[in-house]
Amino acid sequence: MDFWQRRLLQATIAVLALLPVFAGVCGVVTGAGFLGVKAGPADLDSHLRFLSGLFLAFGIGWYSCIPAIETKAERIRLLAILTFCGGLARLYSLAVTGIPSAGHLLGLGMELVVVPCLVVWHGRVAALSRRRS
């Protein structure tokens, strides 16, 4: 069973990491155009592209956890904490500026619900792997 749990977790992360990679690349390449808005001041564009680069790096970081996933607890927890903190910032934005688009709501759900669930799931897979060894 642990083999299939491990494989399913790896596949899930591979699919879910597509989102930050895709959004990061689009934001770096198109700036605010990715969000369907005209480019703003140069400082805002620079900030948006920087954050998009971080988003891309998060996605790549998640991909780096896939090989030997049962041994990547520290990296997965760090990525999860960073992602969760981003989700809290997105939740704050929702509270002060209103409900964002569906894509941002999807991101919010991923950041505050799905990612913590991945951490728990990873803990189970890692424990099963340790018992097998």
pTM, 2 dp = 0.91
Report H helices in 17-114.
18-30, 42-64, 73-97, 102-109
Residues making up the chain, counted from first to last: 133
What is the dihedral angle through the alpha carbons of 71, 133, 10, 90, rounded to the nearest 10 degrees? -50
User: What does the pLDDT profile of the chain (133 residues) look like in tens digits?
Assistant: 588 999 999 999 999 999 999 999 999 999 988 888 887 899 999 999 999 999 999 999 999 999 999 999 999 999 999 999 999 999 999 999 999 999 999 999 999 999 999 999 999 999 998 888 7
The rounded distance, in Å, linking the Cα atoms of 32 and 24 is 12
Tokens of 109: 């759900």
Which amino acid does the sequence have at 103? G
Query: In angstroms, what is the C-alpha Rg of the chain?
Result: 17
